[in-house]
Structure 1
């Protein structure tokens, strides 16, 4: 395995909230999310948010508001799909557009990146489309994605099933320790 270059994390249900859209003013990080993000950054990894936020298209928030919130959590950059599910775009997960844009912007090899998310049929399918490592968390929709909704992403296997984002970060750091730092 090659050293990991970057980690992409979903917002709702992965780092906080409920899995459903939670307005910016009401969104709360899970207790260990800030520490997990800090661990990844301190390990020298690029840490990106990538999130579908169709409420932007409905006028309930702006891309800039999401970017500011996610930057305040320590993300290097936020990739946000602001479109409705039925809009035609290349960025809405499970399409890999946000991952591809980050690869172009930061010159990262997506096969040397990890995607952490709680939804199999969006986060894990987007990761699989670009050959990224896949970590599903049991928070948010994660338990349902691994249970009753598993058929929606049949044929795709996560590289790791994490209890939460801290467990996911610790697994990534163990993988990184096995191969050495990225240069």
Structure 2
């Protein structure tokens, strides 16, 4: 278990709002429980970071500034975004742990004392690679990805990235982490 929870990295689409599809900042809506969830973490002295893949940036459908401004307005302490498409073969796109490692270096974090909350298995793999606690929410793609795991459609490292907790939503995840 964690010694002291320093920070939580939270995915965007399907985790804090929106759906399992990318919704751009001008149309994105938070889930009803998101603000309470983020405030609960902040009140507990836990730093919160956005941790998201946004390939529409490299396609010119939105700017990184659009996403950063939106995520900061929700209360995130810092924002870590991969702006690349899968085909670009970058080193920062989840399931890579590069954004988590970058954050740890910039923010002075021990990743073993951090958690990742997300709705996709790629979030769980990135967390595992970085040594973070892994929490899968069943909003967004969470139910679908959990079903794939439970029906043995994941192999190797994907199978080994089982979440430490499966949460109904972000608020459930936050409450579990703070217990």
TM-score by length of 1: 0.92
Runs of 4+, deviation exceeding 4 Å: none
Superposition pairs for residues 1-183 of structure 1, below 5 Å? 1=1, 2-120=3-121, 122-148=122-148, 151-152=153-154, 153-174=158-179
Task: Summarize deviations over 1:4-31 as a string: whole Å, max 9, x none.
Answer: 1000000000000001101111100000
Q: Deviation of residue 90 (structure 1)?
A: 1.4
Q: State how far apart, in whole Å, the 2-side matches of 1:163 and 1:84 are.
A: 29
Root mean square deviation of aligned Cα: 1.0
Specify the SS of the correspondent of 2:88: coil
Q: Deviation of residue 59 (structure 1)?
A: 0.4
Q: Deviation of residue 154 (structure 1)?
A: 1.2
CA contact (8 A) 2:119 2:140 kept: yes
Task: Summarize deviations over 1:29-81 as a string: whole Å, max 9, x none.
Answer: 00000110010011101100000000000101111110100000000011000
Task: Summarize deviations over 1:122-152 as a string: whole Å, max 9, x none.
Answer: 1000000011000000000000111035533
TM-score by length of 2: 0.94
Specify the SS of the correspondent of 2:166: strand
What number of residue pairs does the alignment pair up? Answer: 173
Specify the SS of the correspondent of 1:14: coil
Q: State how far apart, in whole Å, the 2-side matches of 1:80 and 1:95 are.
A: 12
Q: Deviation of residue 88 (structure 1)?
A: 2.4
Q: State how far apart, in whole Å, the 2-side matches of 1:90 and 1:110 are.
A: 18
Task: Summarize deviations over 1:82-141 as a string: whole Å, max 9, x none.
Answer: 001011221100001110110000010001100000001x10000000110000000000
Specify the SS of the correspondent of 2:51: strand
Unmatched segments (≥5 aa) in structure 2: none
Q: 1:149 to 1:58 in 2, by over 3 A?
A: farther
Q: 1:159 to 1:149 in 2, by over 3 A?
A: closer
